[in-house]
Amino acid sequence: MSEPRPIRRSATAALRSALLQRNDFRCAVCGVSNDEVPLDLAYFQPLSQGGDASPENLIILCPNCHVDFDRRPREIEFTTFLVNLLTAHPAFRSVEQEPVIGSRERLRPDILAARRTAKAEERLVIECKTAVAIGTKSAGAVAHQLTRYAAHIHGARPVLAVPATLSEGQRAVIIDPAT
Ligand SMILES: [Zn+2]
Protein backbone atom coordinates (compact mmCIF):
# COMPACT_ATOMS: atom_id res chain seq x y z
CA MET A 1 0.00 0.00 0.00
CA SER A 2 1.40 3.37 -0.91
CA GLU A 3 -0.70 5.63 1.23
CA PRO A 4 0.72 9.10 1.61
CA ARG A 5 2.69 9.36 4.81
CA PRO A 6 0.81 11.25 7.47
CA ILE A 7 2.26 14.64 8.23
CA ARG A 8 4.41 14.50 11.33
CA ARG A 9 3.07 15.44 14.74
CA SER A 10 3.34 19.17 14.41
CA ALA A 11 2.04 21.33 11.60
CA THR A 12 4.81 22.48 9.33
CA ALA A 13 5.63 26.14 8.89
CA ALA A 14 4.41 25.93 5.30
CA LEU A 15 1.06 24.56 6.39
CA ARG A 16 0.73 27.23 9.04
CA SER A 17 1.31 30.00 6.53
CA ALA A 18 -1.11 28.38 4.04
CA LEU A 19 -3.78 28.26 6.71
CA LEU A 20 -3.10 31.82 7.75
CA GLN A 21 -3.62 32.87 4.13
CA ARG A 22 -6.81 30.84 3.89
CA ASN A 23 -8.08 32.84 6.86
CA ASP A 24 -6.89 36.23 5.61
CA PHE A 25 -4.50 36.28 8.58
CA ARG A 26 -7.42 36.53 10.98
CA CYS A 27 -8.73 34.48 13.89
CA ALA A 28 -11.53 32.24 12.55
CA VAL A 29 -13.76 33.13 15.50
CA CYS A 30 -13.30 36.76 16.47
CA GLY A 31 -11.47 38.03 13.39
CA VAL A 32 -8.55 39.66 15.20
CA SER A 33 -5.61 40.02 12.85
CA ASN A 34 -2.25 38.30 13.06
CA ASP A 35 -0.64 41.76 13.13
CA GLU A 36 -2.40 42.57 16.38
CA VAL A 37 -1.80 39.28 18.12
CA PRO A 38 0.16 36.24 16.88
CA LEU A 39 -2.38 33.59 15.89
CA ASP A 40 -2.27 29.93 16.89
CA LEU A 41 -3.03 26.72 15.06
CA ALA A 42 -5.59 24.59 16.88
CA TYR A 43 -6.66 21.00 16.20
CA PHE A 44 -10.30 19.98 15.93
CA GLN A 45 -9.36 16.43 16.80
CA PRO A 46 -6.32 16.49 19.05
CA LEU A 47 -3.22 14.55 18.01
CA SER A 48 -3.60 12.52 21.19
CA GLN A 49 -6.98 11.32 19.90
CA GLY A 50 -5.78 10.34 16.46
CA GLY A 51 -6.11 13.73 14.79
CA ASP A 52 -3.56 14.72 12.17
CA ALA A 53 -1.96 17.92 11.01
CA SER A 54 -4.08 18.20 7.85
CA PRO A 55 -5.73 21.45 6.75
CA GLU A 56 -9.17 19.95 7.47
CA ASN A 57 -8.22 19.24 11.06
CA LEU A 58 -6.69 22.62 11.78
CA ILE A 59 -8.04 26.07 12.47
CA ILE A 60 -6.43 29.46 13.00
CA LEU A 61 -7.30 31.06 16.33
CA CYS A 62 -6.09 33.91 18.50
CA PRO A 63 -4.86 32.88 21.96
CA ASN A 64 -8.13 33.97 23.64
CA CYS A 65 -10.35 32.02 21.28
CA HIS A 66 -7.95 29.09 21.50
CA VAL A 67 -8.55 28.86 25.24
CA ASP A 68 -12.33 28.96 24.65
CA PHE A 69 -12.01 26.40 21.88
CA ASP A 70 -10.18 23.94 24.11
CA ARG A 71 -12.99 24.19 26.64
CA ARG A 72 -15.70 23.44 24.08
CA PRO A 73 -17.03 19.96 23.61
CA ARG A 74 -15.20 18.34 20.73
CA GLU A 75 -17.20 17.11 17.79
CA ILE A 76 -16.81 13.49 18.81
CA GLU A 77 -18.05 14.25 22.34
CA PHE A 78 -20.97 16.22 20.93
CA THR A 79 -21.80 13.40 18.50
CA THR A 80 -21.76 10.81 21.29
CA PHE A 81 -23.89 13.08 23.46
CA LEU A 82 -26.45 13.46 20.68
CA VAL A 83 -26.48 9.73 19.93
CA ASN A 84 -27.25 9.01 23.59
CA LEU A 85 -29.94 11.66 23.60
CA LEU A 86 -31.66 10.32 20.48
CA THR A 87 -31.35 6.70 21.63
CA ALA A 88 -33.20 7.59 24.82
CA HIS A 89 -35.84 9.62 22.98
CA PRO A 90 -39.10 7.71 22.32
CA ALA A 91 -39.62 9.33 18.89
CA PHE A 92 -36.31 8.07 17.52
CA ARG A 93 -35.11 4.58 16.70
CA SER A 94 -32.31 2.89 14.76
CA VAL A 95 -29.81 5.46 15.94
CA GLU A 96 -26.36 4.65 14.54
CA GLN A 97 -23.12 6.48 15.17
CA GLU A 98 -20.78 6.83 12.18
CA PRO A 99 -22.40 4.17 10.00
CA VAL A 100 -20.86 3.40 6.63
CA ILE A 101 -23.24 4.27 3.81
CA GLY A 102 -22.92 4.24 0.05
CA SER A 103 -21.67 1.37 -2.08
CA ARG A 104 -19.12 2.75 -4.50
CA GLU A 105 -17.78 5.41 -2.16
CA ARG A 106 -17.78 4.69 1.53
CA LEU A 107 -19.28 7.62 3.35
CA ARG A 108 -19.53 8.02 7.10
CA PRO A 109 -22.06 10.53 8.33
CA ASP A 110 -21.92 11.21 12.07
CA ILE A 111 -25.38 9.88 12.86
CA LEU A 112 -28.16 8.05 11.08
CA ALA A 113 -31.54 7.84 12.79
CA ALA A 114 -35.21 7.30 12.10
CA ARG A 115 -37.83 9.62 13.58
CA ARG A 116 -41.48 8.80 13.91
CA THR A 117 -43.78 11.61 12.95
CA ALA A 118 -47.57 11.75 13.04
CA LYS A 119 -47.81 10.53 9.44
CA ALA A 120 -44.84 8.29 8.89
CA GLU A 121 -41.24 7.74 9.75
CA GLU A 122 -38.44 9.79 8.29
CA ARG A 123 -34.76 9.06 8.18
CA LEU A 124 -32.29 11.68 9.27
CA VAL A 125 -28.68 12.03 8.27
CA ILE A 126 -27.08 14.14 10.96
CA GLU A 127 -23.73 15.85 10.78
CA CYS A 128 -22.37 17.26 14.03
CA LYS A 129 -20.16 20.32 13.84
CA THR A 130 -18.86 22.69 16.43
CA ALA A 131 -19.74 26.28 15.57
CA VAL A 132 -16.07 27.03 14.99
CA ALA A 133 -15.84 24.22 12.45
CA ILE A 134 -18.41 25.89 10.25
CA GLY A 135 -16.82 29.27 9.99
CA THR A 136 -18.40 31.22 7.15
CA LYS A 137 -15.83 29.94 4.67
CA SER A 138 -16.41 26.24 5.27
CA ALA A 139 -20.18 26.39 5.80
CA GLY A 140 -20.81 25.76 2.10
CA ALA A 141 -18.59 22.66 2.19
CA VAL A 142 -20.47 21.33 5.22
CA ALA A 143 -23.82 21.84 3.45
CA HIS A 144 -22.47 20.15 0.32
CA GLN A 145 -21.23 17.14 2.28
CA LEU A 146 -24.61 16.74 4.00
CA THR A 147 -26.41 16.86 0.67
CA ARG A 148 -24.11 14.11 -0.62
CA TYR A 149 -24.85 11.91 2.38
CA ALA A 150 -28.58 12.44 2.09
CA ALA A 151 -28.51 11.56 -1.61
CA HIS A 152 -27.35 8.04 -0.68
CA ILE A 153 -30.36 7.35 1.52
CA HIS A 154 -33.68 7.62 -0.22
CA GLY A 155 -35.83 10.35 1.25
CA ALA A 156 -33.43 11.14 4.07
CA ARG A 157 -33.49 14.57 5.56
CA PRO A 158 -30.08 16.20 6.04
CA VAL A 159 -29.62 17.73 9.48
CA LEU A 160 -26.78 19.87 10.74
CA ALA A 161 -26.39 19.73 14.52
CA VAL A 162 -24.45 22.53 16.18
CA PRO A 163 -23.96 22.88 19.95
CA ALA A 164 -24.15 26.65 19.82
CA THR A 165 -25.82 29.60 18.21
CA LEU A 166 -24.69 30.43 14.70
CA SER A 167 -23.66 33.89 13.66
CA GLU A 168 -25.73 35.62 10.97
CA GLY A 169 -23.05 35.00 8.36
CA GLN A 170 -22.82 31.29 9.10
CA ARG A 171 -26.60 30.94 9.10
CA ALA A 172 -26.97 32.64 5.74
CA VAL A 173 -24.47 30.28 4.12
CA ILE A 174 -25.99 27.15 5.66
CA ILE A 175 -29.55 28.06 4.74
CA ASP A 176 -28.62 29.05 1.21
CA PRO A 177 -25.43 27.20 0.26
CA ALA A 178 -25.45 28.86 -3.17
CA THR A 179 -24.33 32.18 -1.71
ZN1 LIG B 1 -10.05 35.12 18.32
CA 44/CA 41 separation, integer angstroms: 10
Centre of ligand 1 to C-alpha 80, Å, is 27
Centre of ligand 1 to C-alpha 125, Å, is 31
Q: 29-69 pLDDT, tens per residue?
A: 888 999 999 999 888 777 877 788 888 888 899 998 888 78
Cβ contacts of 94 within 8 Å, gap of 6 or more: 112, 113, 114
Residue pair 62/37 in contact (Cβ under 8 Å)? The answer is: yes
CATH architecture of 75-175: 3-Layer(aba) Sandwich (3.40)
| Minimum mean pLDDT range among 4-18, 77-91, 140-154, 160-174 | 4-18
Please tell me the predicted confidence (pLDDT) of residue 48. Answer: 78
Centre of ligand 1 to C-alpha 87, Å, is 36
Centre of ligand 1 to C-alpha 38, Å, is 10
Residue pair 69/43 in contact (Cβ under 8 Å)? The answer is: no
How many C-beta atoms surround the C-beta of residue 42 within 10 A? 19
From the number of C-beta atoms within 10 Å of its C-beta (0-12, 13-18, 19+), residue 97 rates as buried
Look up the pTM and report it: 0.56
